[in-house]
Amino acid sequence: MADGQARIAVVAESAPLSKPPKRRYGASCEACRRRKRRCDGKGANGVSLCKYCPQAGIACVFPPRSGEASRMGRAYSELETCRDLLYGLARASDDDRERMLSKWITRQEENGMSSSRGSGSDRPYKRPRRDSISSILSTTDDRFADHNHRPVLPSIDNEYDRTLSRLIDFACAGSANLSPPQPDQARLMLESYFCWQNPRYMILSRPILEMSMQTNNEQFCSEFLLCTMYAVASRHLPELQSRTDDFSIKAHILLSAELCKPSSFATAQGLILLAANLATQGSYSQSWNITGLAVRLFGDLGCTADMVTSQDMDAAEALSRQRVYWTAYVWDKALSLAMSRKPTLRTKIPPPDFSVQDDPSRLWKPYYSPYQMTTQRVCLPRVPPPSNEMTTFYHVCLAYQFLDEIIEEIYEHRERRPLQTRSFVLDIRDRIIAWQGSVPPDILLDTEEIPNLPVPPPHVIEFNLLVHTTWILLYRPFLSEEDSATAIPHSMTACRKSATDIHYLLRLYESTYPLSRIFYLIIYAAFCSATIDMDLITDEDATVAAAARSRLELTLRVLAVGCKYDLPGIQKSVVALRNQLDKYGTPEEKPRVKPESSNSTDLTLDIAAADLADLAYDPSTATFSVSPTDGEFVFGGSPFLGGSPIFGSNLDWNRLLSEHCLSKESGDLDSLPNWPAEAGMNFF
């Protein structure tokens, strides 16, 4: 008995009881899994241990593992793709076969299918792109993660650069005219551009550009940017007018290579200049598309309305960010008005906050080329006025914000209730008046003091024209509602004052600067003023009517300049004025107003063709005329448009306007469906 117990103890110590192995979860066969019953699964050798499937006489099937299923699925998908490719290659021609193979290889490289075959990972390897943001952030400092800071993109491979250079050289080698300008010619265009054209939109900063030209900094200066600037500047220089198209063609050639490079401020600024040059040529759809390209680069450059400058950002980049965005904003507003399209940059944004202000000691002096100085009588101010370029541009941005709000709320939302419109007009009127109170008096001119003030720079005159045009656009639709319950107060008074101020400013511009440098805003302001004066010439007050007729003399002359330069929208605008002239031109409808004084003669308020001699232009007061040879306006002589005198003692304004119109359809000032977009907004 004792021996048996001892043997049991020895066996227990020498051979401990082994536990049965734990069954692996999810090892059941398909049949047992569906019936939710216990299954022994597979053995170590892969043989089924299930007891129920053999008893039922069915095959014991085990589902594949998740990793195996995904790999099998990818293999089957790749097999199907290869099979379709083989069938397609067998039926394709040689050219199509080459193209199909190229697409397949590219797709394989992008998906990383070839690299995933030998890898044990379930996820295929995807080759990073050369401009991948992740690779940029991994190779740069943490400061580049700020969305307001432009990441420094890696340079393109040397081989890629050499290929682009060869293509550009090949494209430009066919014509000697595509060669760079001489140093003296480049300096001439640079001086002319920064004097006359750059203050209008402040596209470029001269110190940054000249420094970048010396240091070859492609972020702020490139050959593409210089070609676009040359194309814009040479248009107003008689010595280089013949090369305007050459610079424009070369800029388009360089554009294709420029878009292959990382985004830069020089690219964005060059695109805006190229869009301006295309608009000047009349290619407005192309200009609209090029402007869109410039706006799309802002994401790479970190240019937004609420941009915040970093402490580690240099002054050149901070200034370029601010300037390029607001330049595009103003240009987008001007071009959208010219094309009757909604602007791209239309979100309600805060006013600009420029980090660089004007130097009070910097004066503005008109620049004329040597040819202009020797062949033309130019006007040089005795006291050069202060430049005020940045301050003027700041308030131009604010004025365009008001103008954009007026166009959107009044001319686009015509379904608004009268009381809502009235409330908006009164509110924005108060805001504009408050803003005008903050504008320096050197910029917002008092027209009554113009004779006593030094002649302002042209960009200051253009800003004042923009302000008075904004007032007319605000009140013009409500002139016919003066006696209604929903009438807007001050409508006629504001429009009449703005038309008078525009007349004074146009007269100041005409007597000081060449009309050849006129641009769309000046002509559009003249048209808006003419629409008001057309209503005032039938006023019962003879003094008001006579003053309106006198103002029409100058405004119609400016519109004639627009006809000469074939500005877009000039046809429809001139048609509208023609129809307004014809409306009061029939003998049966001649309204006459007799003053109370018996000593005064009758004042005929008819502006028909037979009675327009009163609007004749006095050659003795001529300030500028058009030279048929060089296209520039010079002092003295009778002005010419297209080689024919139009300002003479027997001037027929109705005939003049009709010569530039093909028809009278859709030309009524009172019935244009989308005024002002269809009645002069197209001026550029």
**Over 517-554, what HEC string results?**
HCCHHHHHHHHHHHHHHHHHCCCCCHHHHHHHHHHHHH
Q: What is the mean pLDDT of residues 555-565?
A: 73
Query: What residues contact 310, with CB distance under 8 A and at least 6 apart?
Result: 143, 146, 148, 149
Residue 217 has pLDDT above 90, yes or no: no
Residues 541 and 609 in one domain: yes
Which residue among 238, 263, 289 closes a domain? 289
Q: Angle at Cα 185 formed by Cα 181 and Cα 187, nearest 5°?
A: 115
195 within domain boundaries = yes
Averaged pLDDT for residues 351-369: 81
The two structure tokens encoding residue 414 = 């015509």
Q: How far does CA 472 lie from the centroid of its chain?
A: 25
**Would you state the pLDDT for residue 63?**
76
Which tokens is 316 given? 């050149």
Amino acid letter, residue 269 = Q
> Would you give the DSSP letter of residue 593?
E
Average pLDDT over residues 506-511: 87
Domain assignment present for 281: yes
For the residues 303-319, what does the mean pLDDT come to? 69
In total, how many domains does the chain have? 3
The model's confidence at residue 566, banded by pLDDT at 50, 70 and 90, is: low
Closest alpha carbon to 244 in 255, 252, 258, 233: 233
DSSP state of 350: P
Give percent above pLDDT 70 in the chain: 63
Distance CA 489, CA 477 (A): 13
Q: What is the pLDDT of residue 316?
A: 75
Q: Is 625 left (phi over 0), alpha (psi -120 to 50) or beta?
A: beta
- Please name the residues in contact with 549: beta carbons below 8 A apart, sequence gap of 6 or more: 533, 537, 607, 614, 615
Helix (H) / strand (E) element for 192: namely helix 183-192
Give the lowest-confidence range in 26-35, 155-164, 417-426.
Answer: 155-164
Instruction: Report the range out of 151-165, 250-264, 411-425 with the highest average pLDDT.
Output: 250-264
End-to-end CA gap in the chain: 122
Residue 566 structural domain: 514-684
Q: Are residue 581 and residue 636 in the same domain, yes or no?
A: yes
Q: Cα(583)–Cα(569) distance, rounded to whole angstroms?
A: 21
State residue 435's pLDDT score. Answer: 95
pLDDT-derived band at 429 (thresholds 50, 70, 90) equals: very high
The domain boundary, picked from 87, 117, 147, lies at 117
Same domain for 70 and 195? no
Please report where in the chains the tokens 């008074």 appear, as a residue. Answer: 493
Question: Greater confidence, 450 or 625?
Answer: 450
- pLDDT of res. 36: 79
Q: Which amino acid is at 454?
A: P
Place of tokens 């000469």: 564
For residues 118-144, give the mean pLDDT.
Answer: 38
Orientation angle between helical segments 315-339 and 265-281, nearest 10 degrees: 20
List the structure tokens of 30. 């398909």
What are 99's two structure tokens? 């193209």
Please tell me whether residues 567 and 655 are part of one structural domain. yes
Q: Is the pLDDT of residue 414 over 60?
A: yes
**What pLDDT score does 189 carry?**
94
Residues 647/618, Cβ–Cβ less than 8 Å: no
Q: Do 663 and 567 have their domain in common?
A: yes
The phi and psi torsions of 47 (rounded to 5 degrees) equal: -85, 140
* Integer Cα distance of 455 and 460 in angstroms: 10
CA 394, CA 236: separation in Å to the nearest integer? 26
- Asked whether residue 648 falls in the same domain as residue 526, the answer is yes
Domain identity same for 162 and 83: no
* Domain presence at residue 674: yes
CA atoms of 334 and 95, how far apart (whole Å): 48
pLDDT at 552: 84
Over the chain, what is the mean pLDDT? 71
Average pLDDT value for residue range 667-681:
35
In this structure, the answer to whether residues 643 and 556 fall within a common structural domain is yes
Same domain, 84 and 177: no
Token digits of residue 82 = 């290869």
- Sign of the torsion formed by the C-alpha atoms of 655, 659, 664 and 668: negative
Give the Å distances, CA to CA, from 512 to 205, 206, 452, 455, 554: 26, 25, 15, 8, 15
Whether residue 209 is found in the same domain as residue 283: yes
Q: 432: part of which helix (H) or strand (E)?
A: helix 418-438
Is 47 a member of any domain? Answer: no
The answer to whether residue 567 scores a pLDDT higher than 70 is no
Q: Residue 667 — pLDDT band, cuts 50, 70, 90? A: very low
Which comes out higher in pLDDT, residue 420 or 347? Answer: 420
Whether residue 139 is predicted with pLDDT greater than 90 in this model: the reply is: no
Residue 209 one-letter amino acid: L
* Domain limit, last residue, from 258, 273, 289: 289
- The answer, yes or no, to whether residue 147 has pLDDT greater than 70, is no
Rounded distance between C-alpha atoms, residue 473 and residue 479, angstroms? 11
Most confident of 61-70, 516-525, 631-640: 516-525
Residue 346 belongs to a domain: no
User: pTM, whole model, 2 decimals?
Assistant: 0.65
* Over residues 437-463, mean pLDDT: 88
What is d(CA 525, CA 547) in angstroms, rounded to the nearest whole number? 18
- Tell me the one-letter amino acid at 23: R
> What's the rounded Cα separation, in Å, for the pair 321 and 313?
11
As a whole number of angstroms, the longest Cα–Cα distance in the chain is 161
363 pLDDT above the threshold of 70: yes
Could you tell me if 169 and 104 lie in one domain?
no
Whether omega before 676 lies within 30 degrees of 0, making that bond cis, reads yes
The pLDDT of residue 114:
43
**For residue 433, is it within any domain?**
no
3-state SS record for 651-676: CCHHHHHHHCCCCCCCCCCCCCCCCC
Burial of residue 178 (CB within 10 Å: 0-12, 13-18, 19+) is middle
d(CA 235, CA 247): 10
Closest to 522 in 3D by CA, of 334, 365, 274, 325: 334
Look at 432 and 314; give whichever has higher pLDDT: 432
Q: Which two tokens stand for residue 574?
A: 């001139």
Band (pLDDT 50/70/90 cuts) for residue 473 is very high
Which pLDDT does position 554 carry in this prediction? Answer: 82
Distance (Å, whole) CA 633 – CA 622: 11
Radius of gyration from C-alpha coordinates of the chain = 38
Distance between CA 101 and CA 518 in Å, rounded?
Answer: 57
Q: What angle do CA 25, 30, 36 make, to 5 degrees?
A: 65
* Count of C-beta atoms within a 10 Å radius of residue 588: 4
Determine the pLDDT at residue 115.
Answer: 44
Asked which of 61-65, 203-207, 409-413 is least confident by mean pLDDT, the reply is 61-65
**Which one of 37-51, 563-577, 606-620, 650-664 scores highest in mean pLDDT?**
37-51
Same domain for 519 and 634, yes or no, is yes
633-634 and 640-641 as β-strands: parallel, antiparallel, unpaired?
A: unpaired
- State the pLDDT confidence band at 464, using cuts at 50, 70 and 90: very high
Answer yes or no: is 102 within a domain. yes
Mean pLDDT in residue range 95-116? 66
Domain annotation covers residue 306? no
